[in-house]
Amino acid sequence: MKFDRKDILGIQDLSVDEIHLILETAESFLEISTRPIKKVPTLRGKTIINLFYEASTRTRTSFEIAGKRLSADTINISSSTSSVVKGETLIDTARNLEAMNPDIIVIRHSVAGAPHLLAALVKQSIINAGDGAHEHPTQALLDMMTMKEHKGKIAGLKVAIIGDIEHSRVARSNIYGLSKMGAHVALAGPATMLPRDIEQMGVNVFTKVEDAISDADVVMMLRIQLEREKQNIFPSLREYSQHYCLNRKNIQLAKKDVIVMHPGPINRGVEISPDIADDPSFSVILDQVNKGVAVRMALLYLLTGGSE
Amino acid sequence: MKLLLTGARVIDPSQSIDSRLDIFLEDGKIAKVGTNLSKSTKTKDSEKITKIMDLSGMIIVPGLIDMHTHLREPGFEYKETIASGAAAAVAGGFTSIACMPNTDPVNDNRSITEFIRRKASDAAMANVYPVGAISKNSDGSQLTEFWDMKEAGIVALSDDGRPVMNSALMRRAMEYAHSLKLPVISHCEDISLSAYGLMNEGYYSTILGMKGIPSIAEEAMVARDILIAEFTKTSVHIAHVSTGGSVRLIHNAKKRGLNVTAETAPHYFTLTDEALQSYDTSYKVNPPLRSKQDVAAIKEGLADGTIDVIACDHAPHGRTDKEVEFEYATNGISGLETSLALSLTLIGNKILKWPELITRMSLNPARILNIPKGTLQEGADADITVIDPELKWTVDARTFRSRGKNTPFNKYQLQGKAVMTIVGGEIKYDGR
Q: Place A178 in a pLDDT band, splitting at 50, 70 and 90.
A: very high
Of the partner residues A117, A200, A201, the one whose CB lies closest to the CB of residue B325 = A117
Q: Place B352 in a pLDDT band, splitting at 50, 70 and 90.
A: very high
Chain A CB contacts of B210 under 8 Å are 112-113, 132-134
CB contact at 8 A, A249 and A255: no
How much is the pLDDT for B48? 60
- B209 vs A133: CB contact, 8 Å cut-off? yes
Interface with chain A: mutation pick from B193, B203, B279, highest number of A CBs within 10 Å: B279
Percent of chain B with pLDDT over 70: 97
- B208 vs A169: CB contact, 8 Å cut-off? no
**How does pLDDT run across B186-206, given as a tens digit for each residue?**
999 999 999 999 999 999 999
A195 vs B: CB within 8 A: yes
Closest chain B CA to residue A12: B207
- B212 vs A196: CB contact, 8 Å cut-off? yes
User: What mean pLDDT comes out for the span B342-350?
Assistant: 98
Is pLDDT of B45 > 80?
no
B323 vs A: CB within 8 A: yes
- Report if pTM > 0.90: yes
Residue B232, judged by CB atoms within 10 A of its CB (0-12, 13-18, 19+), counts as middle
**How does pLDDT run across A223-249, given as a tens digit for each residue?**
998 777 777 888 888 999 999 999 999
B275 vs A: CB within 8 A: no
ipTM value = 0.94
Q: Place A87 in a pLDDT band, splitting at 50, 70 and 90.
A: confident
User: What mean pLDDT comes out for the span B158-171?
Assistant: 98
Q: Which of the pair, B46 or B427, is modelled with greater confidence?
A: B427
**How does pLDDT run across A253-306, given as a tens digit for each residue?**
999 999 999 999 999 999 999 999 999 999 999 999 999 999 999 999 999 987
Of the partner residues B203, B320, B326, the one whose CB lies closest to the CB of residue A113 = B326
Tell me the H-state helices in B53-124: 82-91, 110-123
The DSSP string of chain A is: -----S-B--GGG--HHHHHHHHHHHHHHGGGGGSSS---STTTT-EEEEEESS--SHHHHHHHHHHHHTT-EEEEEEGGGSGGGGT--HHHHHHHHHHT--SEEEEEESSTTHHHHHHHH-SSEEEEEEETTTB-HHHHHHHHHHHHHHHS-STT-EEEEES--TT-HHHHHHHHHHHHTT-EEEEE--GGGS-TTGGGGT-EEESSHHHHHTT-SEEEEPPPPGGGGTTTSSS-HHHHHHHH-B-TTGGGGS-TT-EEE--S---BTTTB-HHHHT-TTTB-HHHHHHHHHHHHHHHHHHHTTTT-
- B207 vs A172: CB contact, 8 Å cut-off? yes
What integer best gives the mean pLDDT of chain A? 94
CB contact at 8 A, B243 and B267: no
Largest Cα–Cα distance of chain A, in whole Å?
56
- A112 vs B279: CB contact, 8 Å cut-off? yes
How much is the pLDDT for B42? 57
Of the partner residues B201, B207, B279, the one whose CB lies closest to the CB of residue A116 = B279
Which residues pair with residue A262 across a beta bridge? none
DSSP symbol at B362: I
Question: Taking the CA atoms of chain A, what radius of gyration do you get in angstroms?
Answer: 19
Of the partner residues A12, A172, A196, the one whose CB lies closest to the CB of residue B201 = A196
Q: Which of the pair, B16 or A88, is modelled with greater confidence?
A: B16
A113 vs B: CB within 8 A: yes
**How does pLDDT run across B209-263, given as a tens digit for each residue?**
999 999 999 999 999 999 999 999 999 999 999 999 999 999 999 999 999 999 9
Least confident of A88-102, B116-130, B232-246: A88-102
How many A/B residue pairs have CB atoms within 8 Å? Answer: 62
Is pLDDT of B158 > 60?
yes
Return the closest-CA partner of residue B419 out of B24, B58, B32.
B58
Interface with chain B: mutation pick from A116, A164, A169, A227, highest number of B CBs within 10 Å: A116
Active-site residue, from B66, B273, B294, B313: B313
How much is the pLDDT for B49? 61
Whether B280 sits among the annotated catalytic residues: the reply is no
Which residues pair with residue B54 across a beta bridge? B6
Distance between CA atoms of B100 and B286, rounded to whole angstroms?
Answer: 15
How much is the pLDDT for A225? 82
User: What mean pLDDT comes out for the span B37-44?
Assistant: 66
Contacts of A45 (CB under 8 A, 6+ apart): none
Of the partner residues B205, B212, B325, the one whose CB lies closest to the CB of residue A111 = B325
Q: Looking at the complex, report in whole angstroms how far the Cα of residue B348 sits from the nearest Cα belonging to chain A.
A: 33
Chain A CB contacts of B214 under 8 Å are 196
B196 vs A: CB within 8 A: no
**How does pLDDT run across B263-280, given as a tens digit for each residue?**
999 999 999 999 999 999
User: What mean pLDDT comes out for the span A127-150?
Assistant: 98
- B210 vs A132: CB contact, 8 Å cut-off? yes
Closest chain B CA to residue A111: B327
Is pLDDT of B182 > 90?
yes
